[in-house]
Structure 1
Amino acid sequence: MAKVKLKQAQGNVVTGDRFWDREKDIELLTKRIDECAHVLLVAQRRMGKTSLMAEVYQRLSERYICLFVDLQKAASGSDAIVELSLAVQLHKPLWNKTKEVFANIIEAVTEKVEKVGVGELGVTLRAGLTAGNWAGKGDQLFAILAGSERPVLLMLDEVPVMINRMLKGHDYRITEERREQVDEFMSWLRKNSIKHQGKIRIIISGSIGLEPVLRQAGLSATINNFVPFELKPWDEGTAVGCLVALVPDQHVKVFHNQQNAFSFTICKVHKLSQSPLPQPVLILFFIQLSI
């Protein structure tokens, strides 16, 4: 039987022929999406949450208008609306309507807005959004998405990082003002997720858990309409299969003694950590065994 090969990838996100397994996860997540559920993607760090979303994005892009929004640098509701607007820019019919929402803000560049770089446009939008108008503009933006011909799959990555930053600031202190700002944003997101359910599906993900962050501020209820979706670590067979597929030599195999050592190492580290073993650690141990 021909050996299954996996292309090696540079960087953190993998898709297509660089994406390994997770077929059951993709099938179940797609089912949730098709059922109009809003999803809270839960997993340890380095478990492949962003790659899973990117792969689902590619596979569902013919049935859904897929929008991927990275909020790891966002620090306010205004920042989130800007990032969402820039994601919409990739879909011209929706972007033409979105420009009308921000007409007063981008009036100075309206004639050349299609030629304006994403960075410059982002700066322009940020300059015009305030604490007093971002929610209203965001409501209009959600209404535009809900009116699209195809349903929208909105993937919000690193929401917990954004919320943690908003809640604690640079001095890592939770204040009443910061709590109110987080409450306003999460309540706004909840309101729109309920109002447009069936037309817009939202996936929230991040490198840290969102619920524990919100719990610190007593705001866990703002995500009670999101269905938790746990992304678990690979089992041993999947991990070994991935590593074998990464070996370029068609004749290289994992011998029985190597597999036993590999299994023993997994077991030993698992006992030390008392938690599922992250995938990158498995790769490091396999490399050591193969030398």
Structure 2
Amino acid sequence: MTTRSADTLNALPGSTLRTTTGNWVDGDQFFGRDSELHQLRERLDAGDHILLSAMRRIGKTSLMRETIRRMKGEYRTVFVDLESCGDFTEAVAHLAAGMSKHVSVLSKIKSWFKDGVDNLDEVQIADLTVRLRDRIGAGWRDRGDEVLATMAAGSPRVVVFIDELPILLGKCLRTETGDVSADGRREVEQFMLWLRWNAQQHQGRLSFVFAGSIGIEPLLRSVGLSASLNNVVSVNLEPWDTETALSCWGALGRNYDLEIDYAAGERMAERLGVCIPYHVQLFFDRVRDDARRRKARTVTLTDVDRVYAERMLRAQGGQDLHHMEERLRLAIRKPLQALAFDLLTQAAVTPALTASAALELAGRRVPPDTTDAALREVFETLEHDGYLDLGPHGHVFLSHLLRDFWERRFRRGFRPAGVDGGGHS
């Protein structure tokens, strides 16, 4: 519990903020990440390659975007989102298109086209990406080498921010049935080695920053490729502490003329369990909508409890929580997804997921000779991606919001371990 310095959150010191639920922010709307911003910049100034490691909705993209904004004039920067890419040819096409704003790279790209490209300067990035994909084909390594070398040869130094790399790797690793294919593993290994080679080749002139909404380390470790990250420094982003969340709600309240009782703010933080920035913003949106319907300008503890039950946990309020469910299916290979869902449901409907309960649930989902390996793989992802944490009595949800949502969504048809017929029917 924080030390109370005001009766309402609006009276706390600070500026104002706008609601930006679901969108990245920078500039005067960037909030609560100054320490991490300094750490990331310090690492990049030292020439490191960075992996931003954190649970979902923690603000990785905003941190990258604000870093890009503050680097203007000191570094050349490129931001590439690989979520929509289906293969490595498309990934390199996105990379080249993102770099095409730099004249030297655009000239290099023009040299790939022998049939006239006078209007290439005027082509939108999305259209350019499609044209580049067709031109690059199977030669993505060579074309990628060319654009990275061209960028690295210029001045000032380059930082390439690559978002959602793990989602691309997961797509390439797995077949339609969700199993890891030998060809997919080989292609992922080649791509990671290619990134590593370029990082080493252009050390001191070009740095990479990798991020994603699912964990890359568990994904690569599950297929024996964790060594491909040996040249990357991990920078962890933690949830906000309660004090930062209260300050954020105060700044939002001041902007929208909504008084939030201090006790109500503390209850909001208690309900969330961990203050993930997106959920902090989402909760404010919900209590603000509720106050508007009531034609009220204050939020009390009673209002918070009602909004949490009626708006945060129900379908219309839990779109992002459904997204957490979808992301889990991307992070965990299909043969282990049922086990992962059972483990989470057990943790949601009991005080803690014990080791004996996990073994029982695994025994119902995977062959006996794979139980230990399956549990290790699943727990690594659930812990890394911020679903569960190991406490004194077993695994528990980090987020109370996600726990309560998960219980409401999945407890029907589920019999906890220790009861005959446990698991989802």
Give TM-score, length-normalised by structure 2. 0.61
How many residue pairs match? The answer is: 278
CA change 1:11–1:257 in 2 (3 A) is closer
2:142 paired with 1:170: no
2:24 paired with 1:18: no
Deviations along 1:225-246, one digit per CA (max 9) or x if unpaired, are 0001100100001111111101
CA RMSD of aligned residues (A): 2.1
Q: Which residue pairs with 1:151 in the alignment?
A: 157
- Structure 2 gap segments, 5+ residues each: 1-10, 288-298, 304-425
1:108-187 to 2 correspondences below 5 Å = 108-131=115-138, 133-187=139-193
- Structure 1 gap segments, 5+ residues each: 271-275
Q: Which residue pairs with 2:53 in the alignment?
A: 42
- Partners of 2:59 and 2:278 within 8 A in 1: no
Q: Which residue pairs with 1:281 in the alignment?
A: 279
CA change 1:193–1:258 in 2 (3 A) is same
Correspondence for 1:203 among 198, 209, 230: 209
Q: Which whole-Å CA distance do the structure 2 matches of 1:13 and 1:169 have between them? A: 32
Counterpart secondary structure, 1:227: strand
Deviations along 1:12-56, one digit per CA (max 9) or x if unpaired, are 211112211201110111000000000010000010101110110
- Partners of 2:51 and 2:232 within 8 A in 1: yes
- Partners of 2:32 and 2:244 within 8 A in 1: yes
2:249 paired with 1:243: yes
Q: Which whole-Å CA distance do the structure 1 matches of 2:80 and 2:241 have between them? A: 30
The range that moved more, 247-256 or 61-70, is 247-256
Q: Which whole-Å CA distance do the structure 2 matches of 1:170 and 1:277 have between them? A: 36
Displacement, 1:285?
4.7
- Partners of 1:98 and 1:144 within 8 A in 2: no
Q: Which residue pairs with 1:27 in the alignment?
A: 38
Deviations along 1:159-211, one digit per CA (max 9) or x if unpaired, are 00000000014331211111111011011001111111110010000000001
Q: Which whole-Å CA distance do the structure 1 matches of 2:170 and 2:255 have between them? A: 45
Tell me which of the two structures has the higher relative contact order, counting C-alpha pairs closer than 8 angstroms and 6 or more residues apart: 1
Correspondence for 1:56 among 60, 64, 67: 67
Q: Which whole-Å CA distance do the structure 1 matches of 2:154 and 2:259 have between them? A: 51
Correspondence for 1:9 among 20, 23, 26: 20
Displacement, 1:8?
2.7
Name which one, 1 or 2, has greater alpha-carbon Rg.
2
- Partners of 2:241 and 2:275 within 8 A in 1: no
Q: Which whole-Å CA distance do the structure 2 matches of 1:111 and 1:256 have between them? A: 62
CA change 1:257–1:134 in 2 (3 A) is closer
- Partners of 1:262 and 1:285 within 8 A in 2: yes
- Partners of 1:42 and 1:229 within 8 A in 2: yes
Displacement, 1:265?
3.0
- Partners of 1:3 and 1:250 within 8 A in 2: no
CA change 1:172–1:250 in 2 (3 A) is closer
- Partners of 1:47 and 1:233 within 8 A in 2: yes
CA change 1:256–1:69 in 2 (3 A) is closer
Counterpart secondary structure, 2:118: helix
Counterpart secondary structure, 1:110: coil
CA change 1:124–1:261 in 2 (3 A) is closer
Q: Which residue pairs with 1:191 in the alignment?
A: 197
Letter in 2 for 1:235: D
Displacement, 1:137?
1.2
Q: Which whole-Å CA distance do the structure 1 matches of 2:21 and 2:270 have between them? A: 29
Q: Which whole-Å CA distance do the structure 1 matches of 2:256 and 2:224 have between them? A: 55
Displacement, 1:128?
2.0
Q: Which whole-Å CA distance do the structure 2 matches of 1:284 and 1:123 have between them? A: 36
Counterpart secondary structure, 1:108: coil
Q: Which whole-Å CA distance do the structure 2 matches of 1:87 and 1:188 have between them? A: 18
Correspondence for 2:221 among 209, 215, 220: 215
CA change 1:224–1:112 in 2 (3 A) is same
